[in-house]
Amino acid sequence: MAIVYLSLGSNSGDRIGYIQQAAGLLGASEGISIIRTSAFYETEPWGMESQTWFVNAVLEIKTTLSPQNLLQQCLRIENQLGRKRSPKGYIDRTIDIDILFYNKDIINNENLIIPHKFVHLRAFTLVPLLELIPNFEHPLLHKTITELHNDLENPEMVFLYGTRAEI
């Protein structure tokens, strides 16, 4: 069984509803069990021009799926929940599911990079990870989540949205 951290985010429509639906679909998937979740956070868009802020959360799961099969499951759920993609870059989305860490594995394939290549630059991933695994060491950067968060030079705004995610 692998321990995996997934970032879920939405800035379109019922943002919390989409995160809850995605988490429910992940938890109902064969080979995936949700261990725990972070709280919901409302976050400033990162790397894109949008007026709509995101709601984000991080899930800790255990899975028997390979990283590639987990990616396929995440993409299937994004598609099922109406995720649209643009060749021009980031756009508003109903749901985004990113694999942040898969155990302490390092994967660098054409369609999958783990640890996520931007995890250490995004407050919207680091703040929820601080809740769950503040002392986890990034397998490439050899810094803890707390250290990575402290190293952010110009973090986007991240606010606690409500109570612990009801997933």
Catalytic residue status for 83: yes
Q: Which residue in this structure is represented by tokens 């709509």?
A: 52
CA distance 65 to 103: 12
Please pick, among 76, 92, 93, 122, the residue that the annotation labels catalytic.
93
Please pick, among 14, 96, 122, 164, the residue that the annotation labels catalytic.
96
CA distance 71 to 34: 16
Please pick, among 15, 98, 151, 164, the residue that the annotation labels catalytic.
98
Please pick, among 15, 36, 83, 92, the residue that the annotation labels catalytic.
83
Q: Residues near 96 by Cβ (< 8 Å), separated by ≥ 6?
A: 7, 8, 9, 10, 78, 83
Q: Which residue in this structure is represented by tokens 């980031």?
A: 90
Here the tokens at position 148 are: 């990575």
The DSSP 8-state label assigned to residue 137 in this structure reads B
Catalytic residue status for 98: yes
User: Which residues have a catalytic role annotated?
Assistant: 83, 93, 96, 98
